[in-house]
Chains A and B, each alone.
Chain A
Amino acid sequence: GEDVEQSLFLSVREGDSSVINCTYTDSSSTYLYWYKQEPGAGLQLLTYIFSNMDMKQDQRLTVLLNKKDKHLSLRIADTQTGDSAIYFCAERGTNAGKSTFGDGTTLTVKP
């Protein structure tokens, strides 16, 4: 079945760039997503990329997709303390409602 893997923790200094990595196994994935979850909250969709794209930029966020290696990354430029949260990578096939999630990367931003 589908599987999504992420590293568990990342710590950066305020103002640095953060890069969160993810690998997935489903070669039929159509969209790949990055979600943010703050304590006690649901999931906030940050950005997503269609599987036929290599890169997508949205303000401070840059998503890179290497479809051959099934590797997805999220770069956050000028990371702020408010970016501290858990970041989830997810993939889906033809149905938006059924997505497979990784176990999340906890990003800690130190002042």
Chain B
Amino acid sequence: DAGVTQSPTHLIKTRGQQVTLRCSPKSGHDTVSWYQQALGQGPQFIFQYYEEEERQRGNFPDRFSGHQFPNYSSELNVNALLLGDSALYLCASSPLGGEDEKLFFGSGTQLSVL
């Protein structure tokens, strides 16, 4: 049983560009959450997707957007990249619409903005 998978593992972009990160949740999970982890800090909640809609959102600007597909996989898009967007982006999935207590994380996408 594959866990949460994310692609790509590493990405280098320049300021002003746009990026798309991808996530496939663990089998049987229907809810996907995205987190940003800056160097030396804990993960910060970006948003959560359930039933193909954004259900909750953290304190991130509109440059951060996402999508969930009918197979529960998800994308995170970031427009007009800033140097400060450099971070590890983690996807996490959970079952039962997020009501289950457990959250499973992928290995992340390391984004570097030059």
The answer to the question of A103 belonging to the interface, with a C-beta cut-off of 8 Å to chain B, is: yes
On chain B, the residues within 8 Å of A45 by CB distance are 102-105
Number of A-B contacts (CB under 8 A): 72
Stretch from A13-21, A72-80, A90-98 at the B interface: A90-98
Distance, CA A31 to CA B99, complexed state (A): 11
- A interface, size bucket: 20 to 34
Residues of chain B from 79 to 114 with CB closer than 8 A to chain A in the complex? 90, 92, 94, 98-108
Interface size class of B (residues with CB under 8 A): 20 to 34
Given contacts A41-B107, A43-B90, A97-B92, contact A88 B42 (CB under 8 A): yes
Q: Is the CB of B48 within 8 A of A98?
A: yes
A95 engages B48 (CB within 8 Å)? yes
User: Could you tell me which B residues sit within 8 Å of A by CB distance?
Assistant: 4, 31-33, 40-45, 48, 50, 55-56, 58, 90, 92, 94, 98-108
